[in-house]
Amino acid sequence: MASVLVPLAQGCEELEAITVVDLLRRAGISVVTAGLDEKPVRASRGMVLVPDTTLDEALNQEYDMVVLPGGLPGADHLDGDPRIRGLLKDMAARDRYTAAICAAPKVLASTGLLEGKKVTSFPGVLDAFDGLDYRTDSVVQDGKLITSRGPGTAMDFALTLIENLVGKDRRDEVEAGLQRP
């Protein structure tokens, strides 16, 4: 079974985090949400999320994909955490999927993982970084790197993640159940 880690930081964008976790679980993918510490996570719009575990505990297992929700200051907290940066470098070195949405692609950029890659993000988030092939598509994939623009693209992002992990047929089944137009 495919496994995914979704780190949750204080101030994350709840729509992105919840959409990703919900849709991946609908697809039968094992998803672990991990807080940077032991506290519940107060998301950017005030919703309180209770992670499955702490990041320290979650790092004791391996994952096929790491997905970073955006939102501010959530993405800043992820960016400032050396465990996240080490995890992302390790995932890339082992040719595993890394994915980020909204403001979170800046975590990948500051870790050096976006240089020369096709990417997207919330407008302006990656302006300070050189050497990127920036796109304005809802979801952009470059090999095992997947990025997306923001809350409004979270469903397309999650469906793309599903397709990469368990195939197009499973993605189509999940999407059909959502009654999307």
Other C-beta atoms closer than 10 Å to the C-beta of 50 total: 10
- Angstrom distance (rounded) from CA 134 to CA 147: 10
Mean pLDDT, range 128-153, rounded to an integer = 97
pLDDT tens digits, 90-102:
999 999 999 999 9
- Marked catalytic residue, from 20, 58, 102, 154: 102
List, in sequence order, the alpha helices (H) in the chain. 14-26, 55-58, 74-79, 82-93, 105-110, 154-166, 168-178
- CATH fold of 3-176, please? Rossmann fold (3.40.50)
pLDDT value of residue 181: 83
- Angstrom distance (rounded) from CA 42 to CA 10: 5
The domain limits of the chain are 3-176
- Angstrom distance (rounded) from CA 65 to CA 98: 6
Other C-beta atoms closer than 10 Å to the C-beta of 80 total: 14
pLDDT value of residue 79: 98
Mean pLDDT, range 63-89, rounded to an integer = 98
Q: What percent of the chain has pLDDT over 90?
A: 99
Kindly report the average pLDDT of the chain as a whole number. 97
Banded pLDDT at 168 (limits 50, 70, 90):
very high
Instruction: Assess whether 12 carries a catalytic annotation.
Output: no
pLDDT tens digits, 147-166:
999 999 999 999 999 999 99
**CB-side exposure of 56: number of CA atoms within 13 Å?**
3
Banded pLDDT at 13 (limits 50, 70, 90):
very high
pLDDT value of residue 51: 98
